[in-house]
């Protein structure tokens, strides 16, 4: 999952960069192209955040279930809570910055002029999105490692608990 996540995240980030480039290049020549590209980029960004949050939630459920069913020590649940908390903060920051840049962009497009607030919110989106992409990748790697360790421990425990078959 980390490789898939980083690919999707970088794709969304580069779409945001492309939308900004088109918007800054000559906004009066192609305002519709900038708007369409920006809407697509922001949708991709939000979908990446949804995929990241879903992965953390599903991995967390699998880890918790394996720990409880396998009778394993529950210490990974504290790590899992930390990962979910950090991930939720990242998702919140990105979604807020997407809403901010969308609102200022929509107002700017409706008024037909240029807005420094839209440029500031776009710069904020670049910074937040880039920092969150890196942090979310680290969290995804950590969550997938924790999931792998938990499932390996669960499988090892099940092999020990399985009665041996007798050969007659």
164 found inside a domain? no
Instruction: Please report the pLDDT score of residue 131 as a whole number.
Output: 93
Residue (of 102, 80, 78, 98) closest to 90 by Cα position: 98
163 found inside a domain? no
Per-residue pLDDT reduced to its tens digit, 47-60: 999 999 999 999 99
pTM score, two decimals?
Answer: 0.83
* DSSP 8-state code for residue 166: P
**What is the total count of domains within the chain?**
1
| Residue 136 lies in domain | 2-158
110 found inside a domain? yes
168 found inside a domain? no
165 found inside a domain? no
Structure tokens at 116: 């420094």
- The torsion angle over the Cα atoms of residues 50, 55, 60 and 61, rounded to 10 degrees, is 90
Per-residue pLDDT reduced to its tens digit, 84-127: 999 999 999 999 999 999 999 888 878 877 788 988 998 999 89
């Amino acid at each position: 999952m980390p490789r898939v996540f980083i690919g999707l995240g970088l794709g969304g980030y580069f779409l945001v960069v492309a939308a900004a480039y088109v918007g800054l290049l000559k906004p009066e020549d192609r305002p519709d192209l900038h708007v369409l590209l920006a809407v697509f980029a922001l949708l991709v960004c939000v979908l990446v955040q949804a995929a990241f949050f879903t992965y953390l939630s599903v991995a967390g459920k699998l880890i918790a279930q394996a720990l409880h069913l396998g009778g394993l020590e529950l210490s990974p649940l504290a790590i899992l809570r930390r990962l979910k908390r950090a991930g939720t903060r990242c998702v919140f920051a990105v979604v807020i910055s997407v809403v901010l840049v969308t609102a200022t962009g929509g107002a700017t497009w409706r008024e037909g002029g240029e807005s420094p607030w839209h440029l500031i919110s776009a710069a904020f989106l670049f910074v937040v999105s880039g920092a969150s992409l890196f942090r979310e990748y680290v969290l995804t790697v950590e969550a997938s490692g924790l999931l792998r360790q938990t499932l390996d421990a669960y499988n090892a425990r099940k092999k020990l608990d399985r009665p041996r078959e007798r050969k007659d």
